[in-house]
Every structure is written in structure tokens, then in C-alpha cells.
Structure 1
Amino acid sequence: MGMRSTLLLRHLKVENANAIGGLTYGFPAISHFLGFTHALSRRLEQIYGLTLGGCAVIAHHTELQSQPLGNRREQVFALTRNPLTKEGKTAPFNEEGRVHLDISLLIECDFNADQLPKGGTLDLRIDALQTWFERTVPTLRLAGGTITTLGQVQWREHYDERELRRLRMGLLPGFALVCRHDLLTRHHQQCLESDPRRELLDSLLDFVTLRHQAQQDESGAVSWQPRAKPAPGYLVPLAVGYLGISPLHEPGAIPSSRDQETPFRFAESIYTLGQWVSPHRIQSLDSLLWRYRHQEPYYLCENRYHAPELAWDESDAEPFMANDLF
């Protein structure tokens, strides 16, 4: 089903967002942005009876709060100093990764102009909706960070070819985060032909680690040359959801759980391959959207982006085995 309308939140500036997503760091996990969209949708439903759907993430600038460790190239997180304990000693703390963000969010809306609150002309009704978003969005938190600035709010029912091109160019400079599990799957299948015992985690590391290989010239001198990755592009490891590893317990059955009114389940993170792509190369806004998908025992954030030269295959829609990564 295609999008009925879209909401563009341009240049959201966030301070001290969570920079750690499972085993990865540098940018919040995609579940943070879908969670923000869900929280905004619940408030919209309470006021207007309307809901939101998926969300696309475009990053314009990130500033990881880190500092070099000595004279080495290694970086460590810049941590906050907590107040002293009653005894005057340094309080224990958990390491936190923080990042400042300048992003734009393109959010799918499950309604069209006919469903907007009645009263006045269509332009006035759209202005009232956009004003409500302008007032509500800064009151929320995104990835645990504080929203300090909201550049522009734009609700639109549809984009013609000219408007779509203007939107893509308006998101520059920036990169949209999409899922490239298709690249990971293809590379893993090729590797299995030569090594049947190879695990999916090994194939993922081929994309995200820097490797060098020794080469010897005719004179016998040995030099180390960088080893090319399996595919070109701005490829990154990505946490995209959770895999349930226990039965679903009844509410209150686990005494130490945070919510005693919701069923409880133990879970582990799911990882795959992501890619940052330039918005001006995007042909369809739908290919940028991330959406929730629940298929027992998977709780996924799913994106169906495919490079223009690749054809969509329904078999790719099957959830990947997260436990193969561990």
C-alpha cells in the first residue's frame, strides 16, 4: 500500500542523543526513530484521531561526543561527571555514548486531506495541522536526546515529479539510511560456496572492518595494501530490531521487569548491513521508509530499499536468521 500523505520534519537538531545501538556506535539505532514516530502518532491520535506510519531518516550532520586517547588514533566517549556520593566519593556510572544530530525525518501519514479536521479552507486546515506539529515535536525526546531546533514542518498529500525532485535536492547535503541486507545475503552465499562452515557474522565483518593484505614485489620487498570490501558504497553495520529468546511471559510474572502491565520477553539484538545513500539518487520515497514488522519471534524495523539496478524479489522479504550472527 502506497503512502497516503507525508510529513517532513526538516533539520531537527538533537543534543546528546544515544550513539550506541547494540554492538554498534556512532548513530542511534533505527528503532529510536520509529519509537519517536510512534510517540508522535499517539499524541496525534488523541487530538485528531489520525495516525502515522513509517519513517525515513536523513542525516545532515553528526557530532560524536568523543575525544582521542593519548597520541593514538583511538577514540573514547566524552563522559559526563556525576555528582559525588554522600561519602564524597566518585559515583559509579555506566558508560554512555552521546552524539549531536542534525537530521530530517520523512514520516508516512495514514490519512489524506479529506480526513483533516473540518473547519475553514483546506489551506487553513493544513496550516493548523502543521502548527500542531511545530508545537508538539519539540516537547518529545529523540533517542534520549533533547530536540533544540525544528527547522520546518511540511505536510503534503502527494508529490508530482517536479516537487519530488525539489524535495530530494532540498535534503542535500545529507544521506538517507537504508537497509542493504540483500548485499549481505548475496556475499554470504558466495562465501558459503568456498567455505560451508562460514557464519553470517563473518560475512558482515567483511563489509565493516578495515583489512590489509601483504604483497611481495619482484625484488622481494613486502608491502601491506588495503583489501577491497565486497561491495562499494557507504556501508555500515546496523541494529534493526530484536529476536525473542524466551517464551512470552504474562504481565507481572517477572518481578524485576520495568512494566508490570505488559507481557515480558527476553530478547537479543538483530544486526544487518545498512547504507547511507544520497537523497538525489532516490526514485521512490517509499523505498526510504522504515516500518515495524512483527513475525514471531522477530521484532524488526524493516526497510525495502533496493538499488536501481536490482530487481525486487519477494523471497528477500523473509526475515533473516538473527541467531546466525552470534
Structure 2
Amino acid sequence: MNDYFYILVDGLKLTNANAISGPQSYGFPALNGFISAAHALERRLKKLADFPDISFDGVLISCRDFKIKMDDSGYFATFNQKRAPILKDGKTAPIIEEGYVDLTVSLVIKATGDQLRLFNLDKNKKTFEEKFRNLCLMQRFAGGSVEYIRAVEFFTAEDTDTLKRRLLPGFVLIDAYEDAANIYHEMVEGYRTEIEEKIDPETGEITRYICPVGHNPETDMLDVLISTAAIYQIPPKAEQSEWTRYSFKRDRGWLVPIPVGYQAITQKYDADQVANIRNPNYASQFVEVIYGLGKWVFPHRLKGDINQYFWRYDNSVENLYLITQHQPSNTNL
């Protein structure tokens, strides 16, 4: 038996989760909202006699249902806001703009612990699953309140095929670094490098998938992220009469920009050095959000080992606080 197992939190229905994932993005909650919730859950479990040695190593996220609370009846869409209670002096309290989303997700947490005790008897397994479910019901995920959990189940490392089927119907969020690299090369070279070139055996002529937008050798990764949110209008040529549209996401799947961590913009300050922070007992540092490219895929399209699709913290590089699917040296959440 492997030294790890999986905890499936199936059909986790959240209400009023945070829909503003970063300063330039909204929609699905930030990854940090789910990983930090798993970290808080791990700390609570370790205080119980039933889970003294449990440890988490990443979270896989599958989304089944999603509805942003917004008004899109006009030209611009706006978030639905909450009216704060009247102040003591009778004046109207200011409205702080917030974005909310109701969603249903399934989370798979990779964990290590005493499997002999968890899986030895079916009665033990059911008891632990029920206790774990009750703990999930008592805390927030991504700022949202838990309305309902369909089931909590423990799976052994050998039962990944059954685990994938339990994630259906839904989309799993994965790191799209390969697609980002391919888009970058397409923007620089002017053709799709991941599509196999066709060579005429008689003439030796090479046929490539040419990018109608052209190419720019000075392209950077910021251009790649912007390109995934843009639709390019191609003007007609002499023999054409209509404009054509092009998207760099074409034939690449459901690509989305996502926050993948933070980068420090100041030095690290010791405890009690910065005023008015949330917890003055810990060191603090000013940071800015780092964006990457994510991709929503069906669970049955996950290639290779399922362990490569778990999101986890990685602070192995100084002044970088990343959320990655790569395996860092220190994997505890």
C-alpha cells in the first residue's frame, strides 16, 4: 500500500464565495481560497484524536456548477451588492464593492496518515468520513458558506480510476503552461509550432499552420495572457470581402488566466513592525499577484498520473509565494 491516499469532498455546494480572484480577474474563486481552506482543515484535524498524524499534500479542483451574482441587463455587467446596515448616526453606510458566486465543486485532497486504521474496517472508514464531512460543514471555502456536501469518501492510491469517474460531470482546473508556451512560440514565430508540419515528398515544400495575426519577436508572457482574452479581427485581403476572426485559444481548449501566487515587492518585516495588519504576531511582506494560464478539462482527459494535477503551495524560491502543480521540496500545505 502507498503511503498516501485521497479524500474526496464530493458535491461541495458553496454560496457567496469570493468571485474576485485578483486585481485583473473575476469569476471562479482564486486557488488560494481552496488550498488555504484545506490547510485550515488539516490543522483542525490534527487536534482530534482520530487524525493525529494526518498531513495534506495538495488539492485537485473540479467545478460542476457556477453562477456569478451579477446584473448583465445593461451594456456593462455589474456585481450585485449588499446594503450594509444603517450607521448609529442614521447615515447610510458606504457600499464596499464585492463579487459573489454560487458554485458546486468537488475537491480531492491528497493526504498521508494511518491508512491501516482508516481502511482496515469498513465501519472505521465510514466513521472517519462522517467526522471529516462534519468538519467541512463548519468552515468556509473560498470565502463561501457550505450549504451542502453530497459525500466524503476516502480512496486508496490504487483506486484513481474510480476517483476520476466520481469527478464527472465537471471540469478539472489544471496548469496550462504547455499551452502558454505554444501560444508564445506562435506569436513569436508566426505559426503553430505544436502542429506537425507537412512536407511535400516531391517538392520538399513545408506547409505550416500560419497565424493570421502575424508575428512579433518582442512578444512576452504578458502578451500571451492578454491574447487569451482577445478576439482578433483580420481585415480582408484583395480577393476577400469579409473580415475574419481569430483566437489564440482556438483548438486549445478552455483556457483562462488565473492567479498563481504572489511576488514580494518589499523586504520582509518582523512581527510588530507593520501597523494595522491582520496578525501582528507573524512577519509580513507586501506582495503583488502573479498570473498564469489555467485550463478546464474533463476528468477522463487527464493524462498520466493524477498526482500531477494537485495544486499546492511552493515557497522554495525566495520572495516568491507560488501555487503550483509541480512538486516542491516542502509539500505540506
- What TM-score bracket applies, with the shorter chain setting the length? 0.7 to 0.9
Q: Could you say what secondary structure the match of 1:260 adopts? A: coil
Counterpart residue number, 1:167: 163
Instruction: Please show how residues 199-278 of structure 1 align to structure 2 within 5 Å.
Output: 199-216=220-237, 218=239, 221=241, 223-229=242-248, 232-278=252-298
Which of 207, 215, 219 aligns to 1:198? It is 219
Shift of 1:281: 1.3
Q: Residue type of the partner of 2:321?
A: Y
| CA-to-aligned-CA distance 1:28-69 (integer Å, 9 cap, x gap) | 011111001101100111112122220000000001101114
Q: Could you say what secondary structure the match of 2:125 adopts? A: helix
Aligned 8 A contact 2:140 2:146 in 1: yes
For residues 87 and 277 of structure 2, what CA distance do their matches in structure 1 show? 27
Instruction: Please show how residues 17-96 of structure 1 align to structure 2 within 5 Å.
Output: 17-22=17-22, 23-47=24-48, 48-49=51-52, 50-70=54-74, 72=75, 74-96=76-98
Q: Residue type of the partner of 1:298?
A: L
Shift of 1:279: 0.4
C-alpha root-mean-square deviation of aligned residues, in Å? Answer: 2.2
Q: Could you say what secondary structure the match of 1:52 adopts? A: strand
TM-score by length of 2: 0.82
For residues 3 and 229 of structure 2, what CA distance do their matches in structure 1 show? 33
Shift of 1:126: 1.6
Q: Could you say what secondary structure the match of 1:126 adopts? A: helix
Aligned 8 A contact 2:314 2:323 in 1: yes
Instruction: Please show how residues 71-150 of structure 1 align to structure 2 within 5 Å.
Output: 72=75, 74-114=76-116, 116=118, 122-150=121-149
For residues 217 and 26 of structure 1, what CA distance do their matches in structure 2 show? 41
For residues 106 and 215 of structure 1, what CA distance do their matches in structure 2 show? 49
Q: Could you say what secondary structure the match of 1:21 adopts? A: coil
| CA-to-aligned-CA distance 1:180-199 (integer Å, 9 cap, x gap) | 12222343245445534333
For residues 207 and 46 of structure 1, what CA distance do their matches in structure 2 show? 45
For residues 156 and 169 of structure 1, what CA distance do their matches in structure 2 show? 12
For residues 112 and 205 of structure 1, what CA distance do their matches in structure 2 show? 46
Q: Who wins on radius of gyration, i.e. which is larger?
A: 2
For residues 25 and 16 of structure 2, what CA distance do their matches in structure 1 show? 17
Shift of 1:153: 0.6
For residues 295 and 3 of structure 2, what CA distance do their matches in structure 1 show? 23
Q: Could you say what secondary structure the match of 2:228 adopts? A: helix
Shift of 1:86: 3.5
**What runs of 5+ residues in structure 1 fail to find an aligned partner?**
305-313, 318-326
Aligned 8 A contact 1:188 1:203 in 2: yes
Shift of 1:87: 4.2
Residue 94 and residue 3 in structure 1: after superposition, are their counterparts in 2 closer, same or farther (change >3 A)? farther
Counterpart residue number, 1:287: 308
Counterpart residue number, 1:323: none
Residue 87 and residue 225 in structure 1: after superposition, are their counterparts in 2 closer, same or farther (change >3 A)? farther
Shift of 1:97: 0.8
**Percent of matched pairs sharing the same residue:** 31
Counterpart residue number, 2:194: none
For residues 9 and 86 of structure 1, what CA distance do their matches in structure 2 show? 43
Residue 38 and residue 197 in structure 1: after superposition, are their counterparts in 2 closer, same or farther (change >3 A)? same
For residues 244 and 114 of structure 1, what CA distance do their matches in structure 2 show? 43
Q: How many residues align?
A: 295
Shift of 1:213: 2.0
Shift of 1:224: 3.1
For residues 95 and 34 of structure 2, what CA distance do their matches in structure 1 show? 26
For residues 13 and 30 of structure 1, what CA distance do their matches in structure 2 show? 16
| CA-to-aligned-CA distance 1:122-177 (integer Å, 9 cap, x gap) | 223222211211211000001111001010010122334xxx33332332211000
Q: Residue type of the partner of 1:109?
A: A
For residues 227 and 257 of structure 1, what CA distance do their matches in structure 2 show? 46
**What runs of 5+ residues in structure 2 fail to find an aligned partner?**
190-214, 329-333
| CA-to-aligned-CA distance 1:174-230 (integer Å, 9 cap, x gap) | 100011122223432454455343332112111222332222464x74x33221315
Residue 150 and residue 250 in structure 1: after superposition, are their counterparts in 2 closer, same or farther (change >3 A)? same
